[in-house]
Chains A and B, each alone.
Chain A
Amino acid sequence: MTTAPERPAPTPLAPGAPRSGTTFLGLPTAPRGVGHLRGDRSFPDAARDALRDGQLRANLGHATSTIRAKRAKVVGEVPDWEELRQAGKALKQSTMARLDELLVQLEDQVTARGGTVHWARDADEANAIVTRLVQATGADEVVKVKSMATQEIGLNEALEAAGITAHETDLAELIVQLGDDAPSHILVPAIHKNRAEIREIFLRTMPQFQGPDADRDLPDEPRRLAMAARTHLRERFLRARVAISGANFAVAETGTLAVVESEGNGRMCLTLPQTLITVMGIEKLVPTWRDLEVFLQLLPRSSTGERMNPYTSTWAGVTPGDGPQEFHLVLLDNGRTAVLADEVGREALHCIRCSACLNVCPVYERTGGHSYGSVYPGPIGAVLSPQLTGVEDNASLPYASSLCGACYDACPVAIDIPSILVHLRAEHVEAQERTTPEAVAFRALSKAMSHPRLWRLTQRAAGLGRLLARGKPTLPPVLPPPVSGWTRSRDLPTPPRETFTQAWAREHGR
């Protein structure tokens, strides 16, 4: 069985430490001490352990290769995929350029249709708003549709502290919640678990399997496991008075919100309870109703590899006689405006959370999502988390990529993730107040590489490394750090007697 790390407690605050950083324009990043955007270990440290978990590696390898093949097939059958992608990218760019205006428009539309709009500067404020709204209904439990925003702000913990139980209803979220685990994927939070592990969690935790008379016959067939979840949640759906959801899209022009899902748990939450509370990052907007024609084509094919997901629900405010009669929309900043201030990094706000970049990422496939320490793992997490928290709070993430570019190719809104990674690396380097040994080396190398004479001398010095080889074709495997990072698993060739430019000059008489 995979031993999943317990979800790290929110990063403790050192006495007197600032609650959050600010960017150069003075815009605050997501506060520390609340939510799940920061890990307690650096990526390389966490990854080292994950890589040794054979079960995890097998589960992830199996799941990601399945979904990659499905996605490739359904994307391949769309002749205008690239055109849709470019339209999606431009729509998000134009949304960001008018974000203030569009949010106000959305607020007007939602309000006009009987909804109430709340604004939250950060996780704490959003949690407080939602808690207050739930308390006002008198309910002590809520049903939840899978939502990244509420994961990000640690809403379940905040509700629990107020004595309110949150029931996750998405199958994978349920697996994570019952297993007392942390999500490791945007779309399939329990992707790190296989059927046998899921069966074990269900048998151990679901009330239907407890007690002396319980029928504990549960094969590890996915269909039977899904049925167990159906039984487990049915009653909860029918009695729920309050639901909490996220939103995939919000249309500014019409006040329409959209949730894209598969299982029908979303429909249950969006339809049956009396009160619906939707928490949405301020970047989830699209300007017009028509714009959904682009995203409803891009999202399902990129995420589950289906032509269309089983259910997409849209609603605007309150509809008399149909669905919740009280609707609240919480608009969340929590560092997003700080991301928006970075002209290169703001592209990360275009993300529609399809998870295609995770599924194609060779790093994610091997390390899994927990290594990233944030609810946003994989390539998008590596560019989003450090920006939401300030780069120094997630400094190892921008380096958690070989820059292979598979994420950029897969991204349905063409986010140039590798370029943002490189940009954030520079932000990290430039934020260092003290000179690191690495910086000394890179500066020296920069000097050499910009002065041809000095460079030839440097090359000669490097060539002397061949003395270490004592005539063998490779250098000894034990070398001091940082070279040991290489030589622990790979040989280094012995440097040649002569560089190419030397040899050429000799041949051509210079």
Chain B
Amino acid sequence: MRVALFATCLVDTVAPQVAMATARLLERLGHEVVVPPGQACCGQMHVNTGYRREAVPIVANHVRAFAGAEVVVSPSGSCVASIHHQQAMVLRRAGEEGLAAEAEALAERTHELSQFLVDVLGVTDVGAYYPHRVTYHPTCHSLRLLRVGDRPLQLLRAVRGLDLVELPAAEQCCGFGGTFSIKNSDTSTAMLTDKMANVLSTHAEVCTAGDASCLMHIGGGLSRLRSGTRTVHLAEILASTEDAVSPQQTTRPAVSA
């Protein structure tokens, strides 16, 4: 299959290794990966902060950038959720009926990574190897908007060497919430603290999730505490293989940008 990769603005700019891992993984599974060069952002941050008018051209750009794609995959639950639940609505409100219909059609062809692997490709064992103790945080938009369910866990359970430990109170939000983390920094931090306490209680080396944004939040907190636990995106774990393990590597995933 020819898969168009939507990296998302955040991953592209600050966590390129996540997109690279996604591409490597899909290639390893025998698919051709293309990266449409016109891509930028899905518009979610603007919509969720109240700038829905300003989101219109961003969404339009997104629809344009992926116009020819047969199937789009993205390593971000919340961006895919925005594509499914917000884009057409924002365009419609701005009177862009035609574009809204295109956005809807594009949303149908757009998949979050774990859903693409399990539902579209029908694989749970992607041949990965990652010999670490890992806990999984189900991010809110993956959980409640996309309903990814236990797909990420199915994928993780099939990873060789991986010791999966359950995260207490896993379904509680980590406190990121986009601009919420800045506008309501104190409350966000209180939520993060509880999330970190739960993560640390598992004694996992790695906390993983399907959203780079939430991981940046949890990881930023763990790093500030100088804790030994780091955050690694699900795609990075799934892209890791035995061949790629190097002597210097600790919990660092095998594929880097």
Contact = CB atoms under 8 A, between A and B. Distances in A.
A486 B181 contact: yes
Contacts of A51: 186-187, 190
Contact of B180 (A367, A399, A455, A503): A399
A406 B184 contact: no
A434 B86 CA distance: 27
Contacts of A448: 40
Interface in B162-208: 171-173, 175-192
Given A490-B224, A493-B14, A409 B48 contact: no
B221 A489 contact: yes
B228 interface: no
B49 A425 contact: yes
Given A422-B50, A443-B54, A496-B14, A455 B40 contact: yes
Given A362-B173, A450-B58, A501-B35, A489 B192 contact: yes
Question: Chain A interface mostly helix, strand, loop or mixed?
Answer: helix
Contacts of B18: 500
Interface string B43-68: 10011111111110110110001000
Interface residues of B, number: 70
B159 interface: no
Contacts of B232: none
B179 to A, nearest CB: 8
A459 B13 CA distance: 6
Interface string A317-349: 000000000000000000000000000000000
A463 B140 contact: no
Nearest to B60: A450
Interface stretch (A31-39, A41-49, A111-119, A276-284): A41-49
Given A428-B50, A450-B60, A486-B181, A402 B188 contact: yes
A446 B57 contact: yes
Contacts of A446: 46, 51, 54-55, 57-58
A386 B255 CA distance: 48
Interface stretch (B4-12, B95-103, B127-135): B4-12
A510 B38 CA distance: 13
- Among B38, B187, B191, B192, the one with the most A-chain Cβ atoms within 10 Å of its Cβ is B187
Contact residue range for chain A? 35 or more
B141 interface: yes
B49 A449 contact: no
A477 interface: yes
A465 to B, nearest CB: 9
B47 A422 contact: yes
Nearest to B8: A500
A510 B145 CA distance: 36
Nearest to B18: A500
Contacts of B52: 422, 426
A289 interface: no
A488 B188 CA distance: 12
A400 B184 contact: yes
B220 A403 contact: no
Nearest to A367: B187
A335 B241 CA distance: 61
22 contacts: A366-B190, A399-B184, A405-B140, A422-B86, A426-B47, A429-B51, A443-B51, A443-B54, A446-B51, A446-B57, A449-B61, A452-B65, A459-B13, A473-B223, A485-B181, A490-B223, A490-B224, A491-B221, A493-B15, A493-B216, A498-B257, A503-B257
Interface of A: 43-44, 47-48, 51, 362-363, 366-367, 398-406, 408-409, 422, 425-430, 438-439, 442-443, 445-452, 455, 459, 462-463, 473-474, 477, 482-483, 485-486, 488-493, 495-496, 498-501, 503-505, 508, 510
The 3 closest A-B pairs by CB, nearest first: A402-B177, A425-B50, A490-B220
Interface of B: 7, 9, 11-20, 23, 35, 37-41, 43, 46-55, 57-58, 60-61, 65, 86, 140-141, 143-145, 171-173, 175-192, 216-217, 219-221, 223-224, 257
Given A405-B145, A449-B57, A504-B20, 12 more contacts: A44-B184, A44-B186, A47-B186, A400-B184, A427-B50, A445-B46, A486-B182, A486-B185, A490-B224, A491-B219, A504-B35, A505-B37
